Amino acid sequence: MAKDGLTEFRLVGTRPDRPDGLDKVTGRARYGADISAPGMLWAAVVRSPHAHARIVKIDTSKAEALDGVKAVITRADFPEGLTGEAWNLQENTMAGDRALYDGHAVAAVAATSAFVAQDAARLIEVEYEVLPHVIDVDDAIKPDAPVIREGAADATVPEGMPPNVVRYMEFGHGDVEAGFGAADLVMEKTYKTEATHQGYIEPHACMGQMGEDGRGEMWVCTQGHWFIRKMCTDVLGLDPAQLRVTPSEIGGGFGGKTTIFMEPLSLALSKKAGGRPVKVVMTRSEVLRATGPTASASMDVKIGMTKDGQITAGRAEFRMQGGAFPGAPVDFALMCGFAAYKMPAVEHIGYDVLANRPRAAAYRAPGSPMGAFAVESLVDEMCRELGLDPLEVRLKNAVHEGDKASYGPKFGSIGLEEVLQATKAHPNLLAELGPNQGRGMASGYWFNHSGDTSVSLAISEDGTAQVSVGTPDIGGSRASIALMTAETLGIDYEDVRVNVVETGALGVNEPTHGSRATFASGKAAVMAAEQAIGEMCRRAAAKWGIDPEAVEWVDGAAQPAGPNAGKFPPMTIAEIAAKMSSTGGPIAGHHESVPEGVGASFGTHVVDVEVDPETGRTTILRYLVVQDAGRAIHPAYVEGQYQGGAVQGIGWALNEAYIYGEDGRLQNTVFLDYRIPVASDLPMIDTVIVEVPNPGHPYGVRGVGETGITPPLPAIANAIHDAVGVRLRSLPMSPPAVLAALKAKE
Partner 1 sequence: MSKTHVTTKVNGDTVEFLADPRASLLDCLRDNLGLTGTKEGCGTGDCGACSVTLDGTLVCSCLVLGVEAEGREIGTIEGMAEDKELHPLQRKFIEHAALQCGFCTPGFLVAAKALLDQNQNPTEEEVRYWLAGNLCRCTGYDKIIRAVMDAAAELRGEAA
Residue ranges binding partner 1 (CB under 8 A)? 15, 17-18, 20-31, 33-34, 36, 113-115, 198-203, 249-254, 281, 283-284, 474-476, 634, 636-637, 639-640, 643-648, 670-672, 676-682, 684-685
User: Of the two residues 480 and 694, which places its CB atom closer to partner 1 in the complex?
Assistant: 480
8 Å CB contact between 13 and 4: yes
Distance between CA atoms of residues 451 and 513, nearest Å: 9
| Dihedral over Cα of 408, 410, 412, 416: its sign | positive
User: Of the two residues 398 and 653, which places its CB atom closer to partner 1 in the complex?
Assistant: 653
Buried-exposed string 692-718: b where 16+ CB fall within 10 A, e elsewhere: bbbebbbbbbbbbbbbbbbbbbbbbbb
Distance between CA atoms of residues 313 and 91, nearest Å: 42
Alpha helices in 31-83 (DSSP H): 61-65
How big, in percent rounded to 5, are the helix, strand and coil portions of the chain?
30, 25, 45
Closest distance between partner 1 and the C-beta of residue 641, in Å? 8
User: Of the two residues 203 and 714, which places its CB atom closer to partner 1 in the complex?
Assistant: 203
CB atoms within 10 A of CB 462: 10
Closest distance between partner 1 and the C-beta of residue 171, in Å? 34
Closest distance between partner 1 and the C-beta of residue 680, in Å? 4
Give one DSSP letter per residue of 688-712, joined into a string.
EEE----TTSTT-----SSGGGSTH
8 Å CB contact between 713 and 372: yes
8 Å CB contact between 539 and 581: no
Closest distance between partner 1 and the C-beta of residue 582, in Å? 39
Cβ within 8 Å of residue 568, ≥6 positions away: 540, 544, 546, 559, 560
User: Of the two residues 456 and 641, which places its CB atom closer to partner 1 in the complex?
Assistant: 641
Distance between CA atoms of residues 181 and 163, nearest Å: 35
CA 61 and chain centroid, separation? 42
Run of H or E including 205 = strand 205-210
User: Of the two residues 28 and 400, which places its CB atom closer to partner 1 in the complex?
Assistant: 28
Nearest Cα residue to 648 out of 717, 705, 701, 604: 705
Closest distance between partner 1 and the C-beta of residue 473, in Å? 9
Closest distance between partner 1 and the C-beta of residue 255, in Å? 12
Closest distance between partner 1 and the C-beta of residue 98, in Å? 30
User: Of the two residues 134 and 638, which places its CB atom closer to partner 1 in the complex?
Assistant: 638
User: Of the two residues 414 and 517, which places its CB atom closer to partner 1 in the complex?
Assistant: 517
User: Of the two residues 425 and 670, which places its CB atom closer to partner 1 in the complex?
Assistant: 670
Distance between CA atoms of residues 215 and 233, nearest Å: 10
Nearest Cα residue to 44 out of 138, 126, 111: 111
Closest distance between partner 1 and the C-beta of residue 526, in Å? 23
Closest distance between partner 1 and the C-beta of residue 139, in Å? 31
Distance between CA atoms of residues 407 and 642, nearest Å: 25
User: Of the two residues 465 and 479, which places its CB atom closer to partner 1 in the complex?
Assistant: 479
Q: What is the CA radius of gyration of the chain?
A: 27
Closest distance between partner 1 and the C-beta of residue 475, in Å? 4
| Type of residue found at 437 | Q
Closest distance between partner 1 and the C-beta of residue 645, in Å? 8
User: Of the two residues 17 and 127, which places its CB atom closer to partner 1 in the complex?
Assistant: 17
DSSP category for residue 98: E
Closest distance between partner 1 and the C-beta of residue 23, in Å? 8
Distance between CA atoms of residues 226 and 506, nearest Å: 10
User: Of the two residues 237 and 640, which places its CB atom closer to partner 1 in the complex?
Assistant: 640
Cβ within 8 Å of residue 425, ≥6 positions away: none
Closest distance between partner 1 and the C-beta of residue 437, in Å? 19
Cβ within 8 Å of residue 571, ≥6 positions away: 540, 543, 557, 558, 559
Closest distance between partner 1 and the C-beta of residue 644, in Å? 5
User: Of the two residues 253 and 323, which places its CB atom closer to partner 1 in the complex?
Assistant: 253
Closest distance between partner 1 and the C-beta of residue 682, in Å? 6
Distance between CA atoms of residues 442 and 728, nearest Å: 15
Closest distance between partner 1 and the C-beta of residue 605, in Å? 12
User: Of the two residues 252 and 613, which places its CB atom closer to partner 1 in the complex?
Assistant: 252
CA 201 and chain centroid, separation? 15
User: Of the two residues 611 and 676, which places its CB atom closer to partner 1 in the complex?
Assistant: 676
User: Of the two residues 564 and 680, which places its CB atom closer to partner 1 in the complex?
Assistant: 680
User: Of the two residues 203 and 415, which places its CB atom closer to partner 1 in the complex?
Assistant: 203
Instruction: Convert 544-584 into a string of H (helix), E (strand) and C (coil).
Output: HCCCHHHEEEECCEEEECCHHHCCCCCEEHHHHHHCHHHHC
User: Of the two residues 415 and 635, which places its CB atom closer to partner 1 in the complex?
Assistant: 635
Closest distance between partner 1 and the C-beta of residue 516, in Å? 16
Buried-exposed string 65-74: b where 16+ CB fall within 10 A, e elsewhere: ebeebbbbbb
Describe the crossing of helices 84-93 and 263-272 by its angle, rounded to 10 degrees.
70
Distance between CA atoms of residues 572 and 160, nearest Å: 72
Separation in Å, CA 589 to CA 472, 532, 622:
20, 5, 47
Distance between CA atoms of residues 573 and 389, nearest Å: 57
